[in-house]
Amino acid sequence: MNTNLLFDFSVNKENNTIHVKREFDANLGMVWKAWTTAELLDQWWAPAPYRNQTKSMDFREGGTWLYSMISPENETHWSRFDYEKIDEQKSYTGLDAFCDETGKINTDFDRMHWENVFSETAGHTTVNITISVGSWDTLKKIIQMGFKEGFTQGLNQLEELLSKQKASNKITISTTVNGDVQQVWKHYTEPAHITQWNFAHPSWHCPSATNDMRVGGKYSARMEAKDGSYGFDFEAVYDEVIAGKSFSYTMSDGRSVSVLFNENKGQTELIITFDPEEVNPVEMQKAGWQAILDNFKNYSEAQ
């Protein structure tokens, strides 16, 4: 678990609310989906050793999520969540309550009002949660039932789930260059060489590049269509550098990239693994990055 991620849990007795702020090392789309999709909620919502099981879910304003938490002894505890307002990938509100398997609410407990607000910065998503109840007695009962411990564990399980999803979603490309690793490393990392190969198609070029190749150092490359119709700056900060062997960096949008150099009998294999973005299809992204890598291979072997 990443202990550097923000987590805050507080109770306000004056207005009978619980405030939770939790940061996740994942983009907004992934986190939003994990909170609003039954098959994903079932994987993290109930604190282990309990398991969550959704009976029905209709994620829309006026819709209901009917679910149960099941103990290792197969004791079933039913709840329902009625959605009020939904602002796609920004926030949603609703009322949670204990109930029976048909959804009939247990009136012995006040309903809990939830407001969940989602925001993303540099690939990290923060969820701000405000839970309100009708009285201090109810809030105290919720705390005594172990809500803080159980919900914290559930959020930790969500972090683990997101981490596994990110790992499985990564794209990997590779090529083998006829050249020793010192030569290939030089051609791949020095700005004078980067500007000669860092584009996917002859209609594009890389007019400038800088590379401060140390942990915390910045990589920057300008990529433009030759007709001037479009261009952008590709920027990243290095997380790890092992000269002649590998490096990794984080792009400005929070996605990570790792590059590995393996030499064998005068040839060097490059393996690049990166997080996909959400706009373009994965196959399109893979093809684009592979085209640049193939361009690098041709350039390096011609030197």
pLDDT (average), residues 110-131: 94
147-169 helix and 136-144 helix, angle to the nearest 10 degrees: 60
Average pLDDT of the segment spanning 65-71: 97
Give me the percent of the chain exceeding a pLDDT of 90: 87
Buried/exposed 68-96: b ≥16 CB within 10 Å, e otherwise: bbeeeeeeeebbbbbbeebeebebbbbbe
Give the residue-averaged pLDDT of 29-44.
Answer: 95
Give one DSSP letter per residue of 84-96, joined into a string. Answer: EEEETTTEEEEEE
Question: What local confidence, expressed as pLDDT, does residue 2 receive?
Answer: 53
